[in-house]
Structure 1
Amino acid sequence: MGTHALVRFADFELDIERYQLRRAGHEVRLEHLPMELLILLASRQGELISRADIIRTIWGGNVFRDTDNGINTAIRKIRIALGDDPANPQYVKTIKGKGYRLDGIEPPALDASPAQAPAVRVLVLPFANMTGDPAQDDFCDALANETSATLGMVKPEQLVVIARTTAARYRRTGKSIAEIARELAVDYVIEGSLARDGRRVRILATLIRCADQVQIWSRAHEPAAQGALDIQREVGAALAADITPALTKQHEIVLARRMPIDPAAHDAYLRGRYFWYRRVHFDPCFAAHHALNGEDFFRSRGYFDTAVERDPTYALGYAGLSNYYGATVVHGFVPPEEGWPVARAMAERALELEPDLPEAHHAMGAVHYFFDWDWRKAEAAFLQSLRLNPSYPEVHRLYARMLHAIGRESEGQAAMARAEKIDPLGFQGSRAYGLVLSGKHEEVVSEYFSPSRNDRPPLVYQLLATAFEVKGLFKEAVDATVEALIRCAEPPKAATIRSRWETGGYDAVLRGHLDDLLARHRNGYLSPLLLAETYARLSQPDAMFHWLEIALAERSSRLFELHTNPWFQHYRSTGKFRNLEKRVRP
């Protein structure tokens, strides 16, 4: 959204992260809808916002509601809260026939006090595999990822750790530390490698201060399994020591509790997390509809199982298993009643072992969101995870997804913006996902579609396929779908889609897709929501509602996101659909 988390005007503070308006330090009560509108006005930094834009953003374009009176009432309540004279308003200005703007917004302060000093930005580069063994590539990636996650907990109020997906863009680029520092505005860079000396495998790591290119810490460790633990302990201490006088005892305890007793358990966890991350970033709707390969998920489970077998007290291993069981439901591999109870049990075990583990709170939040449909408990879990590690992009993304689903779009956009700051390069697919959730399909197309770009991740093409279809650009939708499938290593499926389009147009594509889904339903588990979505795309409402009822009965995970699901947008104004939505909400 491009707005700051704290917006000041006159003696008011609008705290977007806390969803709170304050005047002279005291909270000013404001109802949900006026607060959403105030946040939206603040997000434009004094620019005009039209009534049509307000309706689309806050009501999702649902014109069956009395939006005119709704806007007028919300503006009136905002002015009452601000003490603004409606005849001569100082803050919320009405531009007749155009819309509204919020005046008097102060620019962010440039001179921060020591207590509010800008956060130090750290980048952990992908560890280089110098062993000559390609099988060690995943371990190198996972080692860098886990080092990032561990550092995010060292001093969360002072450190911002750039996400692993952004770091991965600098693998083998040949760019210098100075160039990387300028591009990402980072203060410290950690370089690492895995090397072989005879039969011995060593981990090498170096911490570099970007301002003067000084190596402030460097270590070599062997054997590699134990070294992985030592690197994360020592690099955190070295980094904190260079920023502040010393790593406090509390932070030492946090890091020690994150590490397992058996180094081999940590090795297994790192590999499991690598494969889980590699697959989970597909659009779950697209992935489930096209039955994209789930081998990475299933490989991750084997490693997570090994982690807890080697060390039954290792909380991260249980958090990984919870992520696995939940993700396989959301991506359409197993029914909710099989996956989510196990995911809950694993998250509970992780929290029992380590109450302050961000990954465990993230895992429990996913259970509350996707299975319990309890957004209040989910939000509490996500916020607790972010308090423990504000540099955890996965939580920012899932929290943003939930905020969109429950209609708090302005907050959802702010959460996506925060994730973008942590993950500026790898975020492009996530930002497109946020635009799809907001119904901004035109922006997805204009911002991400370029025939000259060939470095987009699969997620972007998956989302472009959706955006093009919603806009009725069917040829482009087929092209994007084919490209997405090819990038997901599914060329036979891509060829089938292309053939159906060339012989029968888009109707043949959708009907062939329905036939594929019905065949999968006959032969094994298939989420009923997939069939409901396909019948919606084919404009067959009776069949759509039939399968929606079945999806409701099984608590299909993505059913909670009916509000943002693009395939149902033509039916949202009907009474039958609104009644269904009410039965989903807690």
Structure 2
Amino acid sequence: MPATLLEFDEFSLDCDRYELLRSGRPVRLEKIPMELLILLVTKDGRLVTRQEIIEHVWGKEVFVDTEHGINTAIRKIRNVLRDDPGQPRFVQTVSRKGYRFVAPINVIPQEGGNGNHGATDLLPPNTLQTQTDLLVPISLPQSHHRVSGLLRKAAMVLVGAIGVAAILVGLNVRGLRQRLFAHTPRQGGPQIRSLAVLPIENLSGDLSQDFLADGMTEELITELGKSSALRVISRTSVMQYRGTKKPVQEIAHELNVDAVLEGTALRSGNHLRITANLVQSSPETHLWAETYDSENGDILSVQQRVADSVAREIRVALSPRDTTTLGDGRSVNPEAQDQYFRGLYALRSAGGGSTQTAVDYLQRAIKKDPNFARAYGVLAMAYAVWYPGDRGPRENMPRAREAALKAVALDNSLAAGHMALAYIDLNYDWNFAEAERESKRALELDPNLAIAHNFYARELVISGRTDEALAQVRRALELQPYAGLDYPAWVFYLAHRYNDALELAQKMVAIDPNFSWGRWALAANYEQLGKEKEAAEEYLQFEILSGSSPQRIKRLREGLARSSAKGFWQASLEDYLRTAKSSYVPPVLVAGVYMRLGDTGCYSSGLDDSCELLHLSLAPFNLHKARVRRASGFLLTAFSNATPHFPGTI
């Protein structure tokens, strides 16, 4: 049978090429919705049950609630077909049963074909194909019966061989299926120089599995970011598109990228299925789609296969992996991977005790697999970055260094390990030379690691290398245009580029009025403009959004109402001194309050460390020059060995 094109209304569907056209122009549809659409269209208007859909799309061996996956696929089909579920033109819902395709279909034969629909179109004229007579002419002379018999035997042998080959391909013996049907990377066409990995969709229907989808999104971004020829948008900027209904072209325009990678994840027990779909943004073109399965829960191996396939498709090279750690093909314990992804998810929710939760998960991952370098790298940053309620840096920073050194010892190609060392060298050891060396190494390994650009920019700006710092910040902003703006705003602020800093602060608050560090950035810049009351009001919002205790919030409100900005800072100082009697308070915060109050008698406070913490070029509380001169008598030229994590989300 020749290949066919199925036409309905203004659409045409090429089932062989997995291509949907609207008025002759390609329409993007992901792999799973495309498979479902083909299934519906080829059923000639018959009902397709939900169980049929599950078996066709996900297979019989997946025993999970796939209701969410089916509903999502149907929704995406209806979106591209512009179909109204209330008055369907194409896909009709049969309550509690399934779906049917109700539009009239016109079958248009095409020349040629790929052989998937039978072999009769390959036969010579006047030839009949039966189960026992293959390639035998319809009328043979009687004198050729012996030849005909030989042909029959040869044909049966051929049929048997084809059957064996089909079984081998179906079972994918020794990777035969991939080698026979391997996708050839595209040649020519627009170059893909920038990419956004959208949040992978969790199809399990179990919200507790979101950690897996988010973790795989981050790992894919990290792996693809190893290419210096490709700009990959950061995790912080893409996560806002979780569950979005925006068209790919609109997302690509907002992020200024050439292509978008979408995907889904479905896990049932140890079985993991990942689908990936690469779409060029302009013109909108489906470039590649694939499904990956793992039967042993090896998430990282599947993620690696996806990254390698995308890199081949867009013809970019990823940085070589460390042969001392990965060359032997050693895989990470699947249970350790599960704990690692849970820890990563907790860390990204930083605050409210989640840091300790992350540490617990990561330590369990390491216990399951003591050679798990990635887990050590993330654990290092979990220790190094201080959040309210955490232990003090004197206790945590040595642990952070130990974890970071272990990470790079196990895998010297791990950018996260080198970034952690740079952070520790800068903030705890004040070793600028080592911090710069480690920052450069991290960016060599992952040129798209936005937070590493930000950390390096901070070091450069406090070293007086402002132009270099701003170049790093601008690169970071290219990688995270809509999120993670707090650190760039801080670097601009420290460089005394207050207009740039204020612009970023206003952008942060416009995007998310409840983002605490956006409020902090507004407050800091208001201080520079002499708007001390407005600054205090924004600092109060920062305290509220950061989860400060109700008692502290009450005291700050009362101080602000009583004596404006001065009352606010006096109340803040009194609360810090009270809290410090029972728990850790970063001395840099106390020093900042003393500076605002113009109090040079801080040594009598009982918090002598607060006077030994802050280099003026680093202080996130630089005020008017006259006030800085008054405060300089007690602010020494060493900065904090207990630097809290001010702006910047890791």
Please indicate, yes or no, whether the TM-score normalized by the shorter chain is above 0.5. yes
1:461 aligned partner, one-letter code: R
* Shift in alpha-carbon separation, 1:432–1:551, aligned structure 2, 3 A: same
Alpha-carbon contact 2:590-2:610 (below 8 Å) kept: no
User: Normalization by structure 2: what TM-score?
Assistant: 0.62
Instruction: Select the structure that is richer in helix.
Output: 1
* Corresponding residue number in structure 2 for 1:125: 198
Q: In the alignment, what sits opposite 2:285?
A: 213
SS of equivalent to 1:425: coil
The reply to whether residue 170 of structure 1 matches residue 241 of structure 2 is: yes
The one-letter code of the counterpart of 2:291 is: R
Offset, 1:144: 0.5
Structure 2: how far apart are the matches of 1:393 and 1:583? Answer: 24
After superposition, what is the alpha-carbon deviation per residue over 1:160-188, rounded to whole angstroms, capped at 9, x for unaligned?
21101111122222112222223323233
Distance, in Å, in 2 between the alignment partners of 1:445 and 1:206 is: 38
Which has the larger displacement, 229-238 or 562-571?
562-571
> Is the contact between residue 142 and residue 270 of structure 1 (CA under 8 Å) also seen in structure 2?
yes
**TM-score after normalising by structure 1:** 0.68
Change (3 A) 1:386 1:198: closer
Question: Could you say which residue in structure 2 is the equivalent of 1:466?
Answer: 524
Bigger mean CA deviation after superposition, 121-130 or 417-426 = 121-130
Q: Which has the larger radius of gyration?
A: 2
Q: Amino acid of the residue matched to residue 415 of structure 1?
A: Q
Alignment of 1:478-517 (within 5 A): 478-490=536-548, 492=550, 493-494=552-553, 496-517=555-576
Match of residue 303, structure 2, among 210, 213, 232: 232
Contact 2:340 2:362 in 1 (8 A): yes
Question: Structure 2 vs 1, CA of residues 235 and 199 (structure 1 numbering), >3 Å: closer, same or farther?
Answer: closer
Call closer, same or farther: CA 1:152–1:443 in 2, change over 3 Å: closer
SS at match of 2:355: helix
Residue 566 of structure 1 aligns to a residue whose secondary structure is coil
1:430 corresponding residue in structure 2:
487
Q: Which residue of 2 aligns with 1:144?
A: 217
What letter is aligned with 2:637?
Answer: E
* Gap regions ≥5 residues in structure 2: 1-189, 642-650
* Aligned equivalent of 2:636, options 562, 580, 583: 580
Structure-2 separation of matches of 1:552 and 1:574 = 14
Other-structure match for 1:135: 208
Task: Quote the Cα distance in structure 2 between the aligned partners of 1:357 and 1:407.
Answer: 29
Alpha-carbon displacement from aligned partner over 1:202-241 (angstroms, at most 9, x marks no partner) = 4333333435522413114355842x22332111211121
Instruction: State the match for 1:49 in structure 2.
Output: none
Q: Using a 3 Å threshold, how does the CA distance of structure 1 residues 318 and 526 change in structure 2: closer, same or farther?
A: same
Change (3 A) 1:523 1:220: same
CA distance in 2, matches of 1:497, 1:454: 26
Identity in percent? 26
2:458 is the alignment partner of 1:401: yes
Contact preservation (8 Å) 1:532, 1:545: no
Taking a change above 3 Å as real, the CA distance of residues 260 and 340 of structure 1, as seen in their structure-2 partners, is farther
Q: RMSD between aligned alpha carbons?
A: 3.5
Contact 1:441–1:467, Cα closer than 8 Å, also in 2: yes
Aligned to 2:91: none
Whether the 8 Å contact between 2:383 and 2:396 is mirrored in structure 1 is yes
Q: Aligned equivalents of 1:450 and 1:424: distance in 2?
A: 10
Aligned position for 2:346: 275
Q: Contact conserved, 1:150 with 1:255, CA < 8 A, in 2? A: no
1:444-493 superposed Cα distances (whole Å, 9 cap, x missing partner): 44564489936243211122122223434234224323433443355835
One-letter code aligned to 1:389: D
Q: Partner letter of residue 176 of structure 1?
A: P
Compared CA separation, residues 453 and 528, structure 1 to 2 (3 A): closer
Alignment correspondent of 1:540: 599
Mapping for residues 8-407 of structure 1, pairs under 5 Å:
120-153=193-226, 156-195=227-266, 202-211=273-282, 212-222=284-294, 225-226=297-298, 228-244=299-315, 250-251=320-321, 256=326, 260-279=331-350, 293-328=351-386, 333-407=390-464
Structure 1 distance, partners of 2:381, 2:509, is 36
Give the Cα separation in 1 of the matches to 2:509 and 2:451: 30
Change (3 A) 1:488 1:193: farther
Whole-Å separation in 1 of the counterparts to 2:468 and 2:583: 39
Stretches of structure 1 that go unaligned for 5 or more consecutive residues are 1-116, 280-292
Distance, in Å, in 2 between the alignment partners of 1:447 and 1:322 is 29
Alpha-carbon distance change, 547 to 160 in structure 1, aligned in 2, over 3 angstroms: farther
* Count of residue pairs brought into register by the alignment: 447
Alpha-carbon distance in 2 for matches of 1:260, 1:219: 21
- Mapped contact 1:233–1:255 kept (Cα < 8 A): no
**In 1, Cα distance between equivalents of 2:538 and 2:318:** 51
Shift of 1:357: 1.0
Deviation for aligned residue 1:547 = 7.7
Deviations along 1:409-467, whole A, 9 cap, x unmatched? 11111110010111111143333222222234455445644899362432111221222
Is the 8 Å Cα contact of residues 571 and 577 (structure 1) preserved in structure 2? no
1:539-563 CA-to-partner distances (Å, cap 9, x unmatched) read 102217988962476xx5xx45744
Identify if the C-alpha distance between structure 1 residues 254 and 234 changes in structure 2 by more than 3 Å, giving closer, same or farther.
farther
Residue 518 of structure 1 aligns with which residue? 577
User: Which residue is 2:588 aligned to?
Assistant: 529
Output the CA distance in 1 between the equivalents of 2:241 and 2:555. 35
Contact 1:207 1:235 in 2 (8 A): no
CA distance in 2, matches of 1:364, 1:477: 34
The structure with higher relative contact order (CA 8 Å, sep 6+) is 1
- Counterparts of 2:334 and 2:376 in 1: how far apart (Å)? 16
The alpha-carbon deviation at position 496 of structure 1 amounts to 4.6
**Inter-partner Cα distance in structure 1 for 2:322 and 2:606:** 52
- 2:95 aligns with none
